[in-house]
């Protein structure tokens, strides 16, 4: 069954937000806007009291709290689920006390050393966004070897830091931080490879709404709210890879998700047809037999049902076959027409070395999701070997093989 992602409505109660600064500073105006967004389809209202646009002046935590707490309390009193958008632990704690259910931290716990420990004690959900520092440093820190993998690796580090601080994994979200220390091409790469974030094991939030890289597709001088249509397109295209989308204009993204859900529901209604389609793709869509194969990839991880496996870890060996049409790559000799097998190998190993699970079947599913996140791949075969499996009789190998296709 296809799951529709949530829409989180952006409610900035600041005088200097890049898109709606000053419109909702008054608590009554903010409440009215929050109610409007919920009526249009928002599941969460994300309240922020400090602008994170490039060049914005920092706001003292006490000023931030003066701005957001009346609005949080008013929304909660209306039965609305609220997220507090803050980098300050003191504001997070006060907002949760006022009824907020989620702490959305664009710094991923890096701006305030007390944040992770504070969130651990609050019991709220926590969004870890990818962050490389304040906006004045972005030009110096916006280089990536391959943005989807670099961002995933850095987010995984923050995910582990949150776990070590005592935040339970089921409370965690990750956000790739579109627009934060990222050039335009990095944002598009991240949207193209959102499935890579799934290897972390947390829910995924994406906020592309009205960002500058979308504005670059419009004529110069176009008003910011003209980016809402482009945001809605991104919402629909990303819907099957994310758990929530953070947007300014809820109505347009809700309508885009209506279209996406109608198509996805139609696909779900014909599982027998879809299974046969994946097994035997028509010749005009896929070249028979074309594949990229990686064998013997090695990763060290702590999967297993026994305590000593979780404690000591062991080596896992992975074989991956990615099926895709290679005719274009063969004719134009362009890497963009195929899958970069070096990047794929790194992604597979990173997925295996993620958070511990009991079964190698689960590990295989995780790897398959990473392979299928590459848009050109229509089917993958994944084998996970466990050469040090705790078996009491002599054996040569233990492995699980799965075949998964794009739905």
| Residue 68 tokens, joined | 């957001």
- According to DSSP, residue 220 is labeled T
* Cα distance between residue 153 and residue 165, in whole Å: 19
Token pair for 317: 């060996």
Angle at 232 between CA 226 and CA 235, to 5 degrees: 145
Rounded CA-CA distance 26/32 in Å is: 10
Task: Please state, in angstroms and as integers, the Cα–Cα distance from residue 48 to each residue in 32, 92, 102, 124, following that order.
Answer: 16, 11, 12, 17
Q: Residue 247 carries which DSSP code?
A: E
Number of neighbouring beta carbons within 10 Å of residue 272:
7
Q: Which of 198, 211, 323, 386 is catalytic?
A: 211
In angstroms, the CA 94 to CA 122 distance is: 10
211 tagged catalytic? yes
Residue 66 structure tokens: 């003066």
Beta bridge partner(s), residue 146:
none
3-state secondary structure 101-159: CEEEECCCCCCCCCHHHHHHHHCCEEEEECCCCCHHHHHHCCCCCCHHHHHHHHHHHHH
Query: Do residues 86 and 106 lie in contact, with contact meaning Cβ atoms separated by under 8 Å?
Result: no
Helix and strand numbers, DSSP H then E, in the chain: 14, 12
Contact 96, 113 (CB under 8 A): no
DSSP 287-341: -TT-EEEEEEEEEEE--SSSHHHHHH-EEEEEEEEEE---HHHHHH--GGGS--H
Give me the helix-helix angle, 228-238 and 250-268, nearest 10°: 30
Name the token pair of 191: 């949207």
171 assigned to active site: no
Identified catalytic residue from 246, 323, 366, 404: 246
What positions carry a catalytic annotation?
Answer: 211, 246
């Amino acid at each position: 069954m296809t799951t529709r992602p949530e829409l989180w409505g952006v409610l900035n109660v600041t005088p200097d937000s890049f898109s709606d600064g000053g419109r909702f500073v008054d608590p009554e105006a903010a409440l009215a806007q929050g109610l409007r967004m919920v009526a249009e389809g928002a599941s969460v209202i994300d309240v922020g009291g400090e602008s994170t646009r490039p060049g914005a002046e920092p706001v003292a935590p006490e000023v931030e709290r003066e701005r957001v707490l009346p609005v949080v309390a008013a929304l909660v009193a209306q039965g609305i689920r609220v997220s507090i958008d803050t980098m300050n632990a003191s504001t997070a704690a006060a907002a949760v006390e006022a009824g907020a259910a989620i702490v959305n931290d664009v710094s991923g716990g890096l701006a305030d050393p007390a944040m992770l420990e504070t969130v651990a004690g609050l019991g709220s959900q926590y969004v870890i966004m990818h962050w490389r520092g304040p906006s004045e440093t972005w030009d110096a820190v916006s280089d990536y070897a391959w943005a989807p993998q670099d961002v995933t690796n850095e987010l995984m580090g923050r995910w582990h830091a949150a776990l070590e601080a005592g935040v339970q994994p089921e409370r965690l979200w990750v956000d790739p931080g579109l627009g934060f220390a990222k050039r335009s091409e990095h944002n598009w790469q991240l949207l193209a490879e959102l499935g890579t974030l799934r290897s972390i094991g947390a829910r995924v939030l994406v906020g592309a709404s009205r960002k500058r890289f979308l504005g670059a597709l419009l004529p110069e001088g176009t008003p910011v709210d003209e980016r809402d249509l482009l945001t809605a397109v991104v919402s629909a295209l990303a819907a099957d890879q994310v758990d929530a989308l953070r947007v300014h204009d809820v109505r347009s993204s809700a309508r885009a998700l209506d279209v996406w859900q109608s198509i996805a529901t139609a696909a779900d209604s014909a599982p027998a047809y879809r299974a046969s389609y994946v097994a035997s793709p028509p010749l005009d869509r896929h070249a028979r037999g074309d594949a990229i194969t990686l064998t013997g990839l090695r990763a060290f991880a702590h999967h297993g049902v026994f305590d000593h496996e979780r404690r000591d870890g062991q080596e896992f060996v992975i074989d991956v076959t990615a099926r895709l049409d290679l005719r274009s790559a063969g004719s134009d000799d362009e890497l963009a027409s195929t899958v970069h097998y070096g990047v794929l190998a790194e992604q597979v190993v990173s997925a295996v070395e993620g958070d511990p699970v009991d079964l190698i079947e689960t590990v295989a599913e995780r790897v398959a999701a990473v392979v299928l996140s590459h848009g050109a791949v229509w089917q993958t075969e994944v084998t996970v070997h466990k050469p040090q499996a705790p078996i009491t009789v002599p054996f040569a190998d233990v492995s699980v093989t799965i075949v998964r296709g794009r739905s």
